[in-house]
Each structure stands twice: as C-alpha cells, then as structure tokens.
Amino acid sequence: MNRRVESVSNDERINDVLRRVIDGVRAADRLGRITVVTPTLQASYYLRRSLAKSGLFNVDFRRLEDVAELLAGNNVEGARLTDLEASEFVYAISTDSNHGTALGGERYSPQLQSALHSTFRDLENLSEKQLETLGAASSFQAELVARFGEYRTQTDQFSSGRRVATAAVKVLSRPDATDVSKRLLGTIVLVEVAPVAPELSNLFEALTELTDTVKISVGDDESGSTQSHQQVAMWAVNTVPNEVKEITRQIVGLARDGARFPRIAVLFEDEAYADRISESLMRAGIPISGPDRSALRDTPVGRFVIGLLNVFANDFDRNEVTSWFSSSPVIDPGTGHQIPGARWDAISRAAGVTRSVGDSWRPRLERYARSTVSRAKSAERLGERGESGVEAAESEAAYTIQLLDFVSTLQAHRNKVASVSWAGHVCWIRSLMSSYLDVASVGETRPFERMTNLLDRLEHLDSTGLKNPGFDHFVDVLRDQLNRKSAGLRSLGQGVYVGPVWTAAGCPFDYVFVAGMVEGKFPSLHRSDPLLPDHLKRMIDPDEKVLPTRVRISTDSRQVFESVKASARELRLFWPQTLPGESREFGPARWYLNEIRRLEGNSFLKASELTTSALQCLSIVTSDHAAPELSAHAEEFDQSRIVEWIRSGARKQELPADIQSAALDAAIQYTKARNGDDWTEFDGKVSVKETPSLSGSATAFETYAACPYRYFLSRRLRVEETKSPEEEISLDALEFGTLIHQVLEDFFEWRNAQNELPATAQQESWLQIAVAREIEGLKDEIPGRSDGAWAVDQSRAWLILRQWVRRENQVANLDDMSQVFAEFGFGYGDEPPVEVVTAQGRTVRFRGQVDRVDISNDGNTVTIYDYKSGGSASYSGLDKDPVKNGTKIQLPLYSRAVRRAFPDAEIQAAYWFVRESGSRELKPRPQEYDEAKADQALTEAIDVVAGGIEQGVFPANPGKSRWVGGRSSFESCGFCEFQRVCPQDKQQQWNRKKNSAEALNDYLALAEPDEDELDD
C-alpha cells in the first residue's frame, strides 16, 4: 500500500472512515500490526471502543508523543524535565539581575515568572538563527533571548518532549526507517483531527512521508457544512443556569429513550461550564467522565494545607484559625480526637481573641478561663446559679485551656521551620499533616495520593541543583501547586463525557451538546504574548510553523470544532443569551450563526432575527421551569409541580399529595401569615404560660417601648449577636461610656475630699492623669490592641473631659449648687428598689444608679444628672413627652429614688451630654423638668410595657424612617443587633398589622400617640 490521505466525507463519521481504512489494511495483510496515531488519550479510547465490537486484532492506539518515545528509544539522555522543575529554573533565572533589569532581577514578580515560562516554551522550538533574529529586534528581546539562553544551559541535563521528537525524526531519516517503523508500529494510520503541537510537527510530517502511512483528516469548512448522516438542533436559552438545566433534561430524556451515557458528551470553551454541568448531572444521578479539572485545594486534604498556611501567614488571625477548623478535618494531637471546632470558635469569640498567640490568644484565653469560673462561683455564692452552673463554667474553662494548648503547640510547630532545603520544608509539612490531619474522616484515598505525589515532586527539586528555597518561596510554590487544576482524567467510558471542546477532537460520540456558543467567548479569545507579540512571531516564523499567532490559533480552534462535528451522530448547539454577572444580552457565536443559516437555507440571516423570526431549527427557552414530566431530577420535578400549583391558584387541596409535608405546611402558613394583615404568632404574638418577673432595669423597659420584638429576642429568648472580635480601631461605645463614667465618679470623690474647690487647671490636670490611669487598667482587661489605638482613645476621652470641666461651672451653676453624690444607687444592698405601681395595679421594681446629684447652697433644690457620652439627637422633644414614648424613663425613675433622700426639695433633672455644648449639652434644661408630669408619664409607660410583657405582645416596630450612620434606616433599628434577621419590609408589615388586634392598642397608643394629645 502507498501513502494516502482519507478525508472525512459528508456521509461518514470519523470512526466509519477509520473502520474502512483498517479493513483495507487487513485485506492486504490479515495479521500485521496497525498503529492508529491520535492526538489524545480520549480520542484513542473512544475510537477503539467504537470499533471494538466489529473486531480489532493487533491494532494499537497511541498518541503522537507516545510514538515519539517508542521511536526514540534510548537515544535521549537525561530525566524528563517536569513542569514544576522547569518553573523553578525560570524562577531562578527571573530573579537573576545579571541578564538585565527589564525582565527580572528587582522587577521579579510571580506574574513575570509565569509569562517568561510560557514564552520560553515557544522559544524552545526556534532554531539558533531564529533566536538570533529575535534577539536583534530590541534590547528587550535581547534580554529575553539572553535569559532563555541561560535557561537552556541550566536545563541541558534534562530530556524534553521536543528532544524526544527530534530523536524520533532522526530515526525516521535513517535508510532503514521503513523497516524500523514497520517493526515498531506496523502500518501507521494518522488521525489528524487537531493541530499538531509545534514540537511534534516534524515527527508528524516524517510519519506522513512513510510508505504505507494513511492519514485521515477533517476538512476545515467555515461555511458550516455538516455530514448528511448527522442531525443538528439549535437552542437559544435565556440564561446559563437554564441552559445547563435544559442540557441535563435532554440527557435524561435521551437516557429514557435508551441512549447510553458514555456515548454522550457535553463540550464547551469556557471552563466555568465544567463545574456547572458536572454538578447538574450529578444532581440528576448521571455519572460523568472526562478531564478532572479539580484542584487539590478543592479536596479536604488540600483545604487542610491551605488553611494551615493561611493561619501561619496571618499570625494566627482568629478568623483564619476558625475557618481552618470549620473547613478541614483537623484533630487535636493532644487527644487524638477531632477538635471541637464550633465550641472553640464560640470560646475564642467570647474571649475576644483577635490575632497573635503571644499578644491575644494566650492572655485572652487565660483571662476568659479564669473569669468564667470565678463568675460562676460568685453567682453560686449569691444564690443566682447552682452547682451545675459552676460545673458548666469549669467545663468551659477546660475547653478553653485545651484550645490554648492547641494553638501554643501549633505555633511551636510553625517556629520549627529552619530548613534550607525542599526536602526539609516538605518534611515539615508532612509532620504537620501527620499530627493534625484527621485521616479517618477524609474517606477517599485519591486526595492523599495527589498530595503525596505533589510533596514527592517538591522534595525532588533538591536534585535539580537549584539553590535552596527560602520558607516564603516554598510556601508560594506549594500554594500555587495546590491551586492548579488537575490534568488527570476521570475514568473514561463510565458516564457522560464533560470537557472542553479541544479534548474531544476525534471522539465519536453519538450525542454531542455544545454549550456557551456566545459571541466573543466561543472560540475563546487568546491574548497576545506581551513578551513575544504577533508581529515578531510573523517576522521570525512567517509560516507560523512553530509560533502560531492569535489568528492561527483561532483557525486551529475551527479545525477542532469541525473534528468534533465530524465525529458526532447528533449535534445540539446552545446559545445562552445572557451571561452570569453581565447585564447586557450576548449574540450567538459566529459558528453557531453559520450553522443556523445553513439549516435554514438563508445565508443572510442576521443574529438579531434569530429570536424574533419563527425558525424551524431553533428552539427558544425563556422559562426557569419546565413541565414536570421534563424535569432533570427529583428536586426539579417537585419544584415544577409547586410552580404549576402556584400558577393554578395555589389551593391547598390541589397540591400533589406526595409533596405535602409538615414542613411545607408550616412554610406556607408562615408566609401567608407574615404577608397578611393580621397580627399573628409569626409577628410577635406570644402565648405566655407564666407571668414573667417584672423587676429589672430601665434599659430593658426602654428597649420594649422602642421595639417589643427586639426586647423579646434579647431579653426573653436571650438571642445574642455573634460578634467578631476583630482588632478594634477604637473602644466600642459601651466601653468608652464606662470609661467616662468611671473617671467622672472618681473625679467627684477626689474633688469632694479637697478643702476647697480646686482651680480649673488643677482639675484638668487630675482628669488627664485619671484618664491615663483608666486606660492602663483597660489595657490589662482588653489585651491585644496596639499602643496607637490606646493613645487615640486616651486623647479622645481627655479632650472631651477637659472641655467638659471648663464648662462645668457654668452648666451646673456651681456658684449656687454643689455635687453631693456620684453613683447614687437604689435596689442594691440595703437600698430599696424604686417601685412603680400602675393604674392597673401592677408593681414593678427597678434598681439602678444615678450618675450625679447636686444640691443648692440653701438646700431647697436638688438636680439629678445622668451622664451620656454619645450624641443628644434622639433626646429631643422631652419637653412635650418627658419619657419619649417610654423610651427615656431614667430621669423620672431617678427622681423617685432621689426624692426619698430629699423629701422636701424641688427636684430638677437632665441628661448631661458630656461631649456636647450649648443647647445640646443638657436635655431637658433642669429648670424645665416637670417632676409630676414625668412621673405620671413614667407610670403610664410602665403600665403599657409591663402589660405587654405579661400578655406576650411583642410586635416588631421599626419606628419612623431616618438616616442612621449615613444610611437609610429606622428610628428603632439603627443600632439593633437583629437587623440581619428582621425582614426588609418590616415597616410595611408594622403599618399593615398595627391596627389589627385589640391587644396592640395600648402599645400603639404609647409608641404612636396622637400628636394633639401630646400638645395638650
């Protein structure tokens, strides 16, 4: 037989042509060896499989690079250079300043290293003369060629695919080439379904030239000719998720009709489809095969190592540590058991841990363990908690110490890194894995094999003679390798093939789905190489034999697409009209449009006409839901039936019986109730079995008055916000307010002990020292903050108090008045609580502390002050309503307490905003405080709040709309810790329901009184 070329024609698929060729060879030589040379393992596998049942005796399927190995035999010395080793050589060369400064040295970056590596792969295929021409193009290119020269010198000891191919070509140029090839390969059938890699192109040509070689090739017809044996169908789908669903549904439909999964392929250009398609098929219970594009970081073992590196890189940042706990299988080497990750997260959060073992974890956990137990013991002494409370606290402390031991030991491991070799660093990682990785819970072995393989390859880098890596470089390389997608294959023939288009060239599938055929994305656009732009490539290699330009790469993609088409029995092409994250619509890919023009027999059809004209060959999908009988999986089946049920009017009795469940009933009931006009148990209508205790603090009652639902969540259900103790920039409002109150209390004690009122300068000086002393005390309580952050708080507090003391004399009228109490307590120790007996006969007891009490020189007037360190905006209007709808009840409560000590004096009262001045400093003005009016308002408000708590009235009342902290919010919600769990339409819900139940009337009258009544 002589050399010949067989083209895939209009009425044969590629496997049919191959069958014909093999049969032709067999007719001349019944038993002789035949080698079918394909571009990929996939093509070899699927071609062999498609021909096997009609007989394949002595037929080998090999990739071109495998043929090169076979022919080259032992003629190439040196171990094969791996990609990782090559990358490390490029790293060494790109950090070297001896070859220039434009492409390395101090300009080194991982991106530059990666760009150099990519360009070096191209340069390896150039001749010396071509390299010379390139180097002469500019000083930039001269440096590029110089660095490449150094790379070649350093990697000379290794073998490469190009060297093997060159050796194979040498064998084929010998006089006995025909005999050698005949002996090793028999008759060669070259399947040319994809462009040949530049380093293999000479070998491919040499094989083509051999006598007896048959080449099967696929034409490249841009006009979109399609085989007559082939059915083609086109879909336009509104979104990518619906496109993926539609493909899954169609595959389920094919399977129902008897199609076998291994004969189906879903192909794409955009790799993002790999996960989308795989997840959708797996949800439908459909097995998949093809390229495995998962990265090691997607496996539990990879997550373990990456999480650990993040913990070390971020100095044990609490968020990194807890994220490692929750995402990876970690064991405590101290116990050998899985760590209690959730509990340790809660403990470290409650302890206020931020980052750094020495500065934060150790001091805060030790303090937390101590204080938890001591608080429980003290509560037990006071009779507030029993023995079990102490036991629980001791258990918490034990967990805390266990956590502290864990992080301390881990830090010791981190500090052990002193190695200067790859093997040393790998040994360090292995020892961490052996101590902390919970092997038993990982289950599958494949991730371990991949990780072991990676660590072996890293260890092996010592043998390349490259300089020893620093720790940081080792971590960078390890991270990069963990993030790289696998180049492996999921067992072929086990399920639907899912992979990029190029991987399926020459694979004879029965059904081929091509997804994502969008303009500009299909085929993928290749970026120009910034180090070797296209114009230089054309100058050096005008035929683009070894340096393909972007135009050439695009043409090659077309060849691959044609091969895929020529191999398929039925083709289904998909055009998603929108893409995730993009607001505009996208037109179809050019090849998609060509195909549709051909099918419609209208070569002038425009893209804009596809969805507006009724085209025979095009199906358009615009809905998120298909009919139930077309569902891809059980979940979609249920969803579709529910959608149908809702569309039909949502009558409960018509809901399919098998979908009905207690959970669904509850969800329907909940949604209806929340969206309805009535106030229900889903809106804070609570059934109260026992009358709750009503002793408490003013703050709790004020909280109820502002929003009963917030009171219910925080005081009844005791739901707490999960705060993240990130490093504080400044003290929070509560801590700062306590600091100011403490200094002012101490200030009074000091000043009161002086024989005469000290000069203002002396008072300022005392305040400055007192603030510094308080800050020092807080440093012990709140370790881990920077000195700068403390200095900011100290300066802020000192400035506020300095200005305050300069104004104090005038504001408090100290010529006529003098302070007699700081922290006047009631309800503590021997001091009786303040009792409020309401008109309904309810008695509520309060305890609290008055910040300051002043008395006039004649003893007739007493003024009560409550210090506030925040702003005064929400305290306006106290002249009209002294308790502001029940949300400001401290002054009348304090008046009652102080009245007991001064039964005959006139009582004045004000909130004192220490950071404000002018009319905003005192609210209300003390002389305008009306004790009787305030007391009556207090009694009425307490009556409503106590009644609401007793009767289980806890509606969510967000209050009026307003700006809080620069954004739109509501009066009650600005600083509410439950904003995340409250519905967005809370104001509409309140407005709809507030008049719907009598039980709400009292609260409504308190929260939203008639404005006229207030004026009266």
- Residue 697 Cβ vs ligand SF4, minimum distance, rounded to whole Å: 18
The number of angstroms, rounded, from the C-alpha of 624 to the middle of its chain's C-alpha atoms is 26
Q: Is 303 in the site for ligand SF4 (CB under 6 A)?
A: no
Query: Which of 193, 956, 1000, 1006 is in the footprint of ligand SF4 by CB under 6 A?
Result: 956
- Residue 888 Cβ vs ligand SF4, minimum distance, rounded to whole Å: 16
CA distance 934 to 908: 11
- Residue 712 Cβ vs ligand SF4, minimum distance, rounded to whole Å: 8
Within 10 A of 611 (CB to CB), how many other CB atoms are there? Answer: 16
Q: Is 710 in the site for ligand SF4 (CB under 6 A)?
A: yes
- Residue 978 Cβ vs ligand SF4, minimum distance, rounded to whole Å: 4
Contacts of 808 (CB under 8 A, 6+ apart): 814
| Token code pair at residue 568 | 């398929």
CA distance 853 to 898: 8
| Token code pair at residue 756 | 């005469």
Nearer to ligand SF4, 694 or 973 (CB): 973
Nearer to ligand SF4, 574 or 990 (CB): 990
Q: Pick the piece of the chain touching ligand SF4 (CB under 6 A) from 273-281, 423-431, 493-501, 706-714.
A: 706-714
Residue in 572, 583, 584, 585 with CA at minimum distance from that of residue 611: 585
The conformation of residue 462, written as its DSSP 8-state character, comes to G
Residue in 810, 812, 809 with CA at minimum distance from that of residue 864: 812
- Residue 710 Cβ vs ligand SF4, minimum distance, rounded to whole Å: 4
If residue 939 lies in a helix (H) or strand (E), which one and from where to where? Answer: helix 931-951
Binding pattern for the stretch 213-242 against ligand SF4, x by CB under 6 A and - elsewhere? ------------------------------
Judged by DSSP in three states, 820 sits in strand
Q: Is 976 in the site for ligand SF4 (CB under 6 A)?
A: yes
Nearer to ligand SF4, 649 or 965 (CB): 965
Residue in 454, 463, 461 with CA at minimum distance from that of residue 481: 454
Q: Is 705 in the site for ligand SF4 (CB under 6 A)?
A: no
Nearer to ligand SF4, 466 or 964 (CB): 964
In the chain, the N- to C-terminal Cα span, in Å, equals 115
Q: Could you tell me how many residues of this chain bind ligand SF4 (CB under 6 A)? A: 13
Q: Is 707 in the site for ligand SF4 (CB under 6 A)?
A: yes
The per-residue b/e assignment along 807-820, b for 16 or more CB within 10 angstroms, e otherwise, is ebeebbbeeebebe
Q: Pick the piece of the chain touching ligand SF4 (CB under 6 A) from 266-274, 465-473, 925-933, 979-987.
A: 979-987
Q: Is 404 in the site for ligand SF4 (CB under 6 A)?
A: no
Nearer to ligand SF4, 818 or 979 (CB): 979
Residue in 893, 861, 894, 882 with CA at minimum distance from that of residue 929: 882
Q: Is 979 in the site for ligand SF4 (CB under 6 A)?
A: yes
CA distance 588 to 929: 75
- Residue 954 Cβ vs ligand SF4, minimum distance, rounded to whole Å: 9
The number of angstroms, rounded, from the C-alpha of 208 to the middle of its chain's C-alpha atoms is 52
| Token code pair at residue 750 | 């000091």
Residue holding tokens 């959060």? 349
CA distance 726 to 723: 9
Query: Which of 972, 1000, 1006, 1007 is in the footprint of ligand SF4 by CB under 6 A?
Result: 972
- Residue 706 Cβ vs ligand SF4, minimum distance, rounded to whole Å: 7
Nearer to ligand SF4, 542 or 966 (CB): 966
Q: Are 438 and 370 in contact (CB under 8 A)?
A: no
Q: Is 951 in the site for ligand SF4 (CB under 6 A)?
A: no
| Token code pair at residue 959 | 């209050």
Query: Which of 168, 801, 982, 1000 is in the footprint of ligand SF4 by CB under 6 A?
Result: 982
Nearer to ligand SF4, 172 or 889 (CB): 889
CA distance 824 to 853: 8
Query: Which of 973, 1000, 1006, 1007 is in the footprint of ligand SF4 by CB under 6 A?
Result: 973
The number of angstroms, rounded, from the C-alpha of 488 to the middle of its chain's C-alpha atoms is 26
Q: Is 978 in the site for ligand SF4 (CB under 6 A)?
A: yes
Q: Is 704 in the site for ligand SF4 (CB under 6 A)?
A: no
Q: Is 986 in the site for ligand SF4 (CB under 6 A)?
A: yes
Q: Pick the piece of the chain touching ligand SF4 (CB under 6 A) from 400-408, 605-613, 845-853, 977-985.
A: 977-985
The per-residue b/e assignment along 853-877, b for 16 or more CB within 10 angstroms, e otherwise, is bbbbeeeebbbbbbbbbeebeebee
Nearer to ligand SF4, 99 or 986 (CB): 986
| Token code pair at residue 296 | 């090691």
Q: How many CA atoms lie within 13 A of 987 on its CB side?
A: 11
Nearer to ligand SF4, 478 or 982 (CB): 982
Q: Pick the piece of the chain touching ligand SF4 (CB under 6 A) from 608-616, 777-785, 922-930, 965-973.
A: 965-973
Query: Which of 204, 325, 513, 709 is in the footprint of ligand SF4 by CB under 6 A?
Result: 709
Q: Is 436 in the site for ligand SF4 (CB under 6 A)?
A: no
Q: Is 62 in the site for ligand SF4 (CB under 6 A)?
A: no
| Token code pair at residue 403 | 């956590």
Contacting positions for ligand SF4 (CB under 6 A): 707, 709-710, 956, 958, 970, 972-973, 976, 978-979, 982, 986
